[in-house]
Homo-oligomer: A and B are copies of this chain.
Amino acid sequence: MKTITTVKEMRALSDQLRKDKKIALVPTMGYLHEGHLALVRKARELADVTVVSIFVNPTQFGPKEDLAKYPRDFDRDAQLLEKENTDIIFYPDAKEMYPDRYSTYIEVRGLQDHLCGKTRVGHFTGVATVVAKLFNIVKPHFAVFGQKDYQQLKVIERMARDLNMDVEVVPYPTVREKDGLAMSSRNTYLSADEHRTSLLISASMAKAQELFKKGERHSPALRRTVEEVLRSRDGIDIEYVSICDSATLEEVREIKDNAVLAIACRVGKTRLIDNTIFTEA
């Protein structure tokens, strides 16, 4: 396993590799958990060479968000990736990615404004921008993204299509703790009690799926049920409960196939998101 920290070296290596190998990229912000490692295993299935980028991207954090305290542990990450037979870690610093007079940003209009975009203004611009840069530097044939960050996945799929990027964006199902909590680097912020409270999120989604299977197709009814479950304990603040179209992320009133239930909550100071897709059997 090789760790590369400069754009120049990464690009030169990718150019060399692309001559006779397929490359898959897993973009991460580090502090890896089992969810990331599942993406790495998927990448290894898809391609000859697996590149994992570790970069806590400043442009996707708002001024009041947790950039400074976002958890970081490169040595631990490197050990985990070594065990998964990762080929290359791309590990640039902020100066390498955003040099002096950096000015260019990518907006995926519409899609970026729903769900998390309402409160995290500029977040998806930062995400789209850094992912475009990583695509141009690593030049992967495949890039694997978790479905847990559903809006991020949709923004990146749209960007790749719209800008004619020659990369296949591959979604991967959300990986969960045994108790149902969606894996996230931010789970490390949760106290034991907060962790228990957070389980209401997956519990509310399970309840919604149960009602959907019994035939409920009316969004306001499902949303009310989800909100009731979430409010059944103190210490959880709902940011949104949205039932939306899987392509446009616009709210739907009547549920058709592939609508998405997306939830964002704050448990203590920790912001958590999760989602589930309603699929006709």
B165 near A136 (CB under 8 angstroms)?
A: yes
Whether a CB of chain B sits under 8 angstroms from the CB of A54 is: no
Q: Which of A108, A109, A132 has most B Cβ within 10 Å?
A: A132
* Copies of this chain present: 2
A163 near B107 (CB under 8 angstroms)?
A: no
Q: Contacts A101-B248, A158-B104 hold; do A136 and B163 have CB atoms under 8 A apart?
A: yes
Docked CA distance A111–B104 (Å): 10
Docked CA distance A104–B109 (Å): 6
**Cβ–Cβ < 8 Å partners of A102 in chain B:** 162
Residues 103-130 of A contacting B (Cβ, < 8 Å) = 103-111, 128-129
**Cβ–Cβ < 8 Å partners of A247 in chain B:** 101
B106 near A110 (CB under 8 angstroms)?
A: no
Q: Contacts A101-B248, A248-B101 hold; do A164 and B106 have CB atoms under 8 A apart?
A: no
B107 near A104 (CB under 8 angstroms)?
A: yes
With both beta carbons as reference points, the residue of chain B lying nearest to A158 in the complex is identified as: B103
> Given known contacts A103-B109, A104-B128, what 6 new A-B pairs fall within 8 Å (CB)?
A101-B247, A104-B106, A104-B163, A106-B106, A106-B107, A137-B164
> What are the 4 A-B residue pairs with the smallest beta carbon separation, nearest first?
A104-B162, A136-B164, A137-B164, A103-B109
